[in-house]
Amino acid sequence: MQNLPYRLKALRRLQRLSLDQLAQRSGLTKSYLSKLERGVSEPSISTVLKLAEAYGMGISELMGIGEEGGDSISVVRRNERTPLDRPGRDAGYRYEAVAGKRLVKSMNPFIVHPPRENQAAPDSFPHSGEEFMLVLKGSVSITVGGQKFDLETGDSIYFDSELPHQLRTIGPDEAEVLVVATRDDAMS
């Protein structure tokens, strides 16, 4: 993610958008977008999803992850997962891209390692589209639109991503959750 600020600025210029226009498309403020392009701020996964949607591309393509051309089949081995972590955040969510080699896609799958309830983390991650979560390991608590659900290994949840949602590890072991988020334009 070291080159992300330059990539974000280049993408905006390539699409001939002003910061104001991108702010309107993404729902992010002009000043925050400027900070991202200058490398002053690091984007959350919610921000990355909003930018990917604003540009009409997947997370991997936005971040420049994967192979040129994007094949129709993408295999990512466990040791090839691309971290989507934000530097300097020791408490909070950890993300790993699991389909980074495919650049053009209508779903954005990734693995989330949610923080514990006593760790500082952003309150919620609302964004457009839909989201599916499957608990691969551990126990989590997810609050969606004000409703709280406790999920164990093998449990899943599917919801409208525009509802505010927050995911936390609640068991003694680190939790691992497969998340598949769709973009709005992929749902027609």
End-to-end CA distance of the chain: 31
- d(CA 93, CA 122) in angstroms, rounded, equals 9
Q: According to the model, what pLDDT value does residue 67 have?
A: 46
Backbone angle region of 138, left / alpha / beta, with phi > 0 → left and psi within -120 to 50 → alpha: left
- d(CA 50, CA 183) in angstroms, rounded, equals 9
Q: According to the model, what pLDDT value does residue 26 have?
A: 94
* Token pair listed for 129: 């589209």
Taking the chain (188 residues) in consecutive chunks of 10 residues, what is each chunk's mean pLDDT?
74 88 95 92 88 86 60 72 58 74 71 82 72 96 93 95 91 93 54
CATH 1.10.260.40 residue window(s) in the chain: 4-63
- d(CA 10, CA 139) in angstroms, rounded, equals 41
Provide, for the chain, the percentages of residues in helix, strand and coil under a 3-state DSSP scheme, each rounded to the nearest 5.
Answer: 25, 25, 45
Q: According to the model, what pLDDT value does residue 186 have?
A: 41
Q: According to the model, what pLDDT value does residue 102 have?
A: 61
For residue 146, give the nearest of 131, 126, 118 by alpha carbon. 126
Give, for 141, the enclosing helix (H) or strand (E).
strand 140-144
* CATH topology assigned to domain 78-186: Jelly Rolls (2.60.120)
Regarding the domain with residue range 4-63, which homologous superfamily does it belong to in the CATH classification?
lambda repressor-like DNA-binding domains (1.10.260.40)
Contact (Cβ atoms closer than 8 angstroms) between residue 33 and residue 19: yes
Backbone angle region of 165, left / alpha / beta, with phi > 0 → left and psi within -120 to 50 → alpha: beta
pTM, entire model = 0.62
CATH 2.60.120.10 residue window(s) in the chain: 78-186
